[in-house]
Structure 1
Amino acid sequence: MERPSLEINLPNTPEEGKLYVVDSLNNLNKLNVCPDESQHVLEYMAWSNIRNQCLFFVTLILTLIVSLVLVSFVIFLIIQTRNKMDQLSSRLIFEKKIIEELKKMNNMILNFDLEKESCLLSVKRTTDSLLLLI
């Protein structure tokens, strides 16, 4: 279906009549293009569009805030883990030193026992030799 052209030739109409006709055509066009119900729909769509934009920006800001909180939490966890690892490392180094000292003490005790046994053996030999002489 073709739309009728809005151009109308009015060659014999005076100037005031032409203005009246153009004004009437404008009013008719407004009625056909945008009735009252449609005007409300257009206003609702405009507010809906603005509301959607505001909702988008609020969602974007909330997403950025949540991302910032999560990144801060991850950084906190990394720092805590590093501190725990430092504590564990220093504890292991301390325990290693203690183990080394215990090894040295054990070696000293073993050496002392060996010397004591050898001394006892030598005393026993000496006493045995003396007893044989008597």
Structure 2
Amino acid sequence: MSTATDGLGAAIDSENAAVFVYGVAVAYASTTRRSDIDDFTAEHRSRRDELEGLIVAAGGTAPASAPGYVIPVAVTDPITAIRAVLVAEEDCARAHRSLLERADSDPQRRAGLGGLTDSARRAAAWRLVLRVSPSTVALPGTGNR
């Protein structure tokens, strides 16, 4: 494995974890949020598929999705469900920022930037739902929450 394929693997792991968390969250989400959750889940699957193609093109092997993931927020109601997906988005932003630092090709850099941008956008949307101010962070993916 190279530094780039390590970064791609970590980004794939974060996307798989996000899909898992969104799958749990949808069971608790209000009906007004389900469409967003469905759309955002599809975006994560699409990004994961793109990253898997890039890791194979770089000579690596895509990591398999784990049977389950630890959710850092106990999901018991619609609010905690949204908090859990917000954490998943922040985790994805960190993984994509790391990919940007490790990438060794333009397609990898574009995927890292796209993933970072998309995760930051989704995180901002969830912060607005939770009424967290500010809804955006200055440097997404740096560990700021």
- Scaled to the shorter chain, the TM-score interval is under 0.3
Structure with the bigger percentage of helix: 1
- Structure whose CA Rg is larger: 1
Choose between structure 1 and 2 for higher RCO, CA contacts under 8 A separated by at least 6 residues.
2
TM-score normalised over the length of structure 1:
0.22
TM-score normalised over the length of structure 2:
0.21
